[in-house]
Chain A
Amino acid sequence: MDLLAAESNNPNHEFITFAIGMSSPVNYLPIVIQSAVAIGFVALALGASHLLGPKRKTAQKEESFECGIEIQGNARYPISIKYFLTAILFVLFDVEIIFFYPYAVNFKEMGIEGFIAVLAFVGIFMAGFIYVWKKGGLEWEK
């Protein structure tokens, strides 16, 4: 039996499927409430553990951990460039992926024409991706 028909017979469930449409700023208010509760809990727990815990500080305890040997220099020395490259590539590709979302939402209305347009966009995306791959941007062993 058809569920949508069952739903329209049942007044209690009508707004489950038909509550589609634009959200107004008021709809976001519960998120603000939840954030306030979360921040309040975190602040309270951190404060409580600060007050409850013992405080017996010594010079050795306050040093950074380095496998029992003396600290060698600062921790913030140059690291592998590959991590930086990953971050840059993420920014590039993430922006392109975000462009897919409006298309995906309107996929059914746009039909075959929209699909061809998106195939062209996927082509450009893949061209950039394959370029990065062939250039060695995704290599980690070297």
Chain B
Amino acid sequence: MEFSLILEKSILVLILTAITLGIATYLTYGERKVAAFLQDRLGPNRAGIFGIFQPLADAGKMFFKEELIPKNAEKWLFILGPGIAMVTACITSAVIPWGGDLILGGRTISLQVADVDIGILYIMGIVSVGVYGIMIGGWASNNKYSLYGAIRASSQMISYELAMGLALIAVIMMSGDLSLRHIVDEQSGWHGMKWNIFFQPLGFIIFFTCALAETNRAPFDLPECETELIGGYHTEYSSMKLGFYLFAEYINMFISSAVMACIYLGGYNFPGMDAAWFSTHPNWLSMIEVGVMFAKVSFFIFCFMWIRWTLPRFRYDQLMHLGWKGLIPLAIANMVITGGWMLLFGK
């Protein structure tokens, strides 16, 4: 790999990381505004016009707060926990295609950090490593509530990973490739509307439910269920380490929305894009594609928030029943039906 390509990728990585952190910061604002809207309140409106500087004020406060490490906690593991959670959240975005190619100064720049042929497996693998961040943090706190929160979180995340993996298999059977770029390009037929959600409605619902559980969002936010567990796995955390756990949750929400948009909603494909190919400059087309991708991601993020402020929390045994006895058999059935359908009707 020549030097200019490394430079190009480094710039792309820096931009992507900055965008990810910016979005995560502003999602806290978005969440509070959506909550306020759904509950007929105003929400944050003091810092700046409509309160748009609120997340910056919050982030600044995170830096200037005292950091406390309980004296009977394992100090280094206590610091490592939020670090792992944040790092894994930040690197998942590497294989997501954000749009077509840009042509700048004769160079073709792909708007995807790494187009590897194991795309989806990479995401599943990194998401599994994220469980360690929560587990290590909760265990190292040496607090009963933290430990219970951590155990609940890990056992919930691994349970829903099974159904998630099974729901994905049906999509992979249709595309025959694990690369997200390829899966997105497969959906560009029918004038940009041949999205997988029309072929895999059940798989989409299973995947969406699992994404809620994987990101510990309501109605599956039992790890931080405040009525039973105070703060869950981050009860003992303060300052930036607490901030990292909260940021990691928002980044995961952003990334899982992007993954869902890629796999089920056609990624950056939009209706009429084949007509636009002839009439638009490729760079403008790529920018429109990035805009379309982010619109789909925003839609999913709004759904996440909408669900959080609408549905009550599950009980833990209900959560496990839904995951093991509901979603896994459904996902298996979905996979077998997809295979049989494709063989019978030769799609």
Against A, the Cβ 8 Å flags (1 = close, 0 = not) of B177-207 are 1110110010011011000000000000000
Contact of A127 with B by CB under 8 A: no
CB atoms of B147 and A75 under 8 A apart = yes
Q: How many residues of A contact B (CB 8 A)?
A: 80
Chain A interface mostly: helix
CB atoms of B101 and A41 under 8 A apart = no
Residues of B within 8 A of A33 (CB): 6, 9-10, 13, 113
- Of all chain B residues, the one with the shortest Cβ separation from A47 is B240
CB atoms of B177 and A105 under 8 A apart = yes
CB distance from A17 to the nearest CB of B (A): 5
CB atoms of A101 and B121 under 8 A apart = yes
Given known contacts A62-B71, A94-B165, is B339 in contact with A115 (CB within 8 Å)? yes
Partner of B100, one of A13, A28, A45: A13
CB atoms of B71 and A49 under 8 A apart = no
Partner of A12, one of B93, B95, B108: B108
- The range of chain B's interface size is 35 or more
CB atoms of B13 and A27 under 8 A apart = no
CB atoms of A107 and B274 under 8 A apart = no
CB distance from A137 to the nearest CB of B (A): 9
Residues facing B in A41-79 (CB within 8 A) are: 41-43, 45-46, 48-50, 52-57, 61-67, 74-76, 79
Given known contacts A38-B91, A140-B316, is B65 in contact with A53 (CB within 8 Å)? yes
CB distance from B180 to the nearest CB of A (A): 12
CB atoms of A35 and B317 under 8 A apart = no
Contact of B73 with A by CB under 8 A: yes
CB atoms of A111 and B235 under 8 A apart = no
Contact of B217 with A by CB under 8 A: no
Residues facing B in A83-108 (CB within 8 A) are: 83, 86-87, 90, 93-94, 97-98, 100-101, 104-108
Measured CB to CB, the residues of A under 8 A from B are 1, 3, 6-7, 10, 12-13, 15-17, 19-23, 26-31, 33-35, 37-39, 41-43, 45-46, 48-50, 52-57, 61-67, 74-76, 79, 83, 86-87, 90, 93-94, 97-98, 100-101, 104-108, 111-112, 115, 118-119, 122, 125-126, 129, 133, 138, 140-141
13 residue pairs of the A-B complex, CB under 8 angstroms, read A13-B101, A16-B101, A17-B185, A20-B177, A31-B91, A42-B83, A48-B240, A53-B66, A64-B73, A64-B143, A98-B165, A105-B172, A105-B177
Contacts A6-B274, A31-B116, A87-B154 known; 4 new A-B pairs at CB < 8 A? A13-B277, A26-B1, A76-B147, A140-B320
